[in-house]
Amino acid sequence: MDAAEFRRRGKEMVDFVADYQENIEHRRVYPDVEPGYLRSMIPSEAPLEPESYEDVLRDVDRVIMPGVTHWLSPHFYAYYANSTSFPSILADLLSSGIGTIGFTWAANPACSELETVMLDWLGKMLQLPEDFLSETQGQGGGVIQGTASEATLMALLSARLKTVKCVQESDPQRSEADIISKLIAYTSEEAHSSVEKASIIGGVVIRMVPTDEHFSVRAETLEKMVAEDKATGYIPFFFCATLGTTPCCAFDKIDELGPICNAENIWMHIDAAYAGCAFICPEFRPLLNGVEFADSFSINPNKFLLVGFDCSAMWVKKSADLTRAFQMDPEYLKHEHQGSGLVKDYMHWGIPMARRFRSLKLWFVFRMYGLRGLQAFIRKHVELAKTFENLVRGDNNFEICAEVVMGLVCFRLKGSDELNKALLKQITRTGKIHLVPCTLRGRFVLRFVVCGRTTELRHIQEAWKHITELSSKLLQNLFDHEGKEN
Amino acid sequence: MDAAEFRRRGKEMVDFVADYQENIEHRRVYPDVEPGYLRSMIPSEAPLEPESYEDVLRDVDRVIMPGVTHWLSPHFYAYYANSTSFPSILADLLSSGIGTIGFTWAANPACSELETVMLDWLGKMLQLPEDFLSETQGQGGGVIQGTASEATLMALLSARLKTVKCVQESDPQRSEADIISKLIAYTSEEAHSSVEKASIIGGVVIRMVPTDEHFSVRAETLEKMVAEDKATGYIPFFFCATLGTTPCCAFDKIDELGPICNAENIWMHIDAAYAGCAFICPEFRPLLNGVEFADSFSINPNKFLLVGFDCSAMWVKKSADLTRAFQMDPEYLKHEHQGSGLVKDYMHWGIPMARRFRSLKLWFVFRMYGLRGLQAFIRKHVELAKTFENLVRGDNNFEICAEVVMGLVCFRLKGSDELNKALLKQITRTGKIHLVPCTLRGRFVLRFVVCGRTTELRHIQEAWKHITELSSKLLQNLFDHEGKEN
Ligand SMILES: Cc1ncc(COP(=O)(O)O)c(C=O)c1O
Ligand SMILES: Cc1ncc(COP(=O)(O)O)c(C=O)c1O
CB contact under 8 A, B35 and A368: no
Q: Does the residue A192 lie in any domain?
A: yes
Reported as half-sphere exposure (CB side, CA atoms, 13 A), residue B421 has a value of 10
Test mutation, A12, A38, A334, chain B, max B CBs within 10 A: A38
Ramachandran angles phi, psi of A312, nearest 5°: -115, 120
- Residue B389 covered by a domain: no
Which ligand has an atom closest to residue B333 CA? 1
- Helix H or strand E encompassing B430: helix B417-430
Which atom of ligand 2 is the closest one to the Cα of A101?
Answer: 9
> Smallest Cα–Cα separation from A79: which of B419, B486, B330?
B330
Question: What would the pLDDT profile of A350-372 be if each residue is shown by its tens digit?
Answer: 888 889 999 999 999 999 999 99
Q: Taking all residues of chain A, what is their mean pLDDT, rounded to a whole number?
A: 95
- The kind and range of the H/E element at A312 are strand A312-316
Alpha-carbon gap: A331 to the closest alpha carbon of chain B (Å): 5
Tell me the best of A77, A80, A216 to mutate to test the pocket of ligand 1, counting ligand atoms within 8 Å of each CB and taking the most: A80
Is residue B250 within 6 Å of ligand 2 at its C-beta?
A: no
In a domain, B486, yes or no: no
Proportion of chain A above pLDDT 70, given as a percent: 99
Per residue in A459-473, is it b (16+ CB within 10 Å) or e — as a string?
bbebbbebbbebbee
**Cβ-Cβ contacts under 8 Å, B70 against chain A:** 98, 100
Q: Name residue A34's amino acid.
A: E
Minimum-distance ligand to the CA of A303? 1
Flag whether A212 is in a domain.
yes
What CATH code is carried by the domain that includes residue B103?
3.40.640.10
Average pLDDT over residues A315-319: 95
User: Which residue from B minimizes the CA distance to A5?
Assistant: B86
Give pLDDT, residue B297.
Answer: 98
| Residue B413 covered by a domain | no
pLDDT grade for A136, boundaries at 50, 70 and 90: confident
How many Å separate Cα B198 from the centre of its chain?
15
Tell me: the pLDDT tens digits for B283-314?
999 999 999 999 999 999 999 999 999 999 99
For residue B14, tell me if it sits in a domain: no
N-terminal to C-terminal alpha carbon distance within chain B? 72
pLDDT at B330: 82
Band (B486; pLDDT cuts 50, 70, 90): low
- C-beta of A188 in contact with ligand 1 (< 6 A): no
Q: What is the DSSP string of B204-244?
A: -EEEEEP--TTS---HHHHHHHHHHHHHTT-EEEEEEEEBS
Interface contact B352-A150, CB threshold 8 A: yes
**CB-nearest partner of B147 from A153, A353, A371:** A353
- How far is the C-alpha of A204 from the C-alpha of A239, rounded, in Å? 12
d(CA B481, CA B476): 8
Give the span between the Cα atoms of A199 and A217, in whole angstroms.
19
Closest CA relative to residue B241, chosen from B263, B218, B212, B213: B218
Q: Is the pLDDT of residue B170 over 60?
A: yes
* Domain-embedded: residue B227: yes
Whether pTM exceeds 0.90 = yes
Q: H or E element: which one contains B444?
A: strand B443-449
| Number of cross-chain residue pairs from A and B with Cβ atoms under 8 Å apart | 462
In 3D space, the residue among A212, A293, A310, A428 whose CA is nearest the CA of residue B355 turns out to be A310
The domain in which residue B260 lies consists of 95-365
Q: Which of A296, A71, A371 is nearest to B355 (CA)?
A: A71
Q: Find all residues with CB under 8 Å of B364, minimum gap 6, and list them.
A: A56, B87, B88, B90, B91
Q: How high is the ipTM of this complex? A: 0.95
Cα torsion angle, B101, B102, B105, B110, sign: positive
- The answer, yes or no, to whether any atom of ligand 2 lies below 6 A from the CB of B80, is yes
What is the average per-residue pLDDT within B315-343? Answer: 85
Ligand 2 in reach of A354 Cβ (< 6 A)? yes
What secondary structure does DSSP assign to A378-414, as a single string? Answer: HHHHHHHHHHHHHHHHT-TTEEE-S---SSEEEEEES
CA distances from A243 to A58, A252, A406, B23, B41 (A): 44, 6, 11, 48, 35
Instruction: Count CB-CB contacts under 10 A for residue A483.
Output: 8
Of B4, B36, B247, the CB nearest to A332: B247
CB atoms within 10 A of CB A126: 21
Residue B442 within any structural domain of the chain: no
Average pLDDT for residues A375-385, to the nearest whole number?
98
Report whether pLDDT(A482) > 80.
no
Percent helix, strand and coil across chain B, each to the nearest 5: 50, 15, 35
Q: Which of A114, A118, A148, A151 is nearest to A133 (CA)?
A: A118
d(CA A242, CA A240): 7
Outline where DSSP puts E strands in A115-250: 141-145, 183-188, 205-209, 235-242
Give residue A318's pLDDT: 94
Neighbours of B61 (CB within 10 A): 10
Q: Assess contact for B466 and B432: CB atoms under 8 A.
A: yes
In short, whether B354's Cβ falls inside 6 Å of ligand 1 is yes
- Say if residue B334's pLDDT is above 90: no
- Choose from B9, B11, B14, B77 for mutation: most chain A CBs within 10 A: B14
Distance from CA of A448 to the nearest CA of B (A): 12
Q: Which of B1, B3, B326 sits opposite A87 (nearest CB)?
A: B1
3-class state of residue A437 by DSSP: strand
Is residue A464 a contact partner of residue A388, using CB atoms and an 8 Å limit?
A: yes
Per-residue confidence band for A486, with pLDDT thresholds at 50, 70 and 90? low
CA distance B443 to chain A (A): 11
Nearest CB neighbour to B367, from listed A51, A66, A340: A51
**Count of domains in chain B?**
1
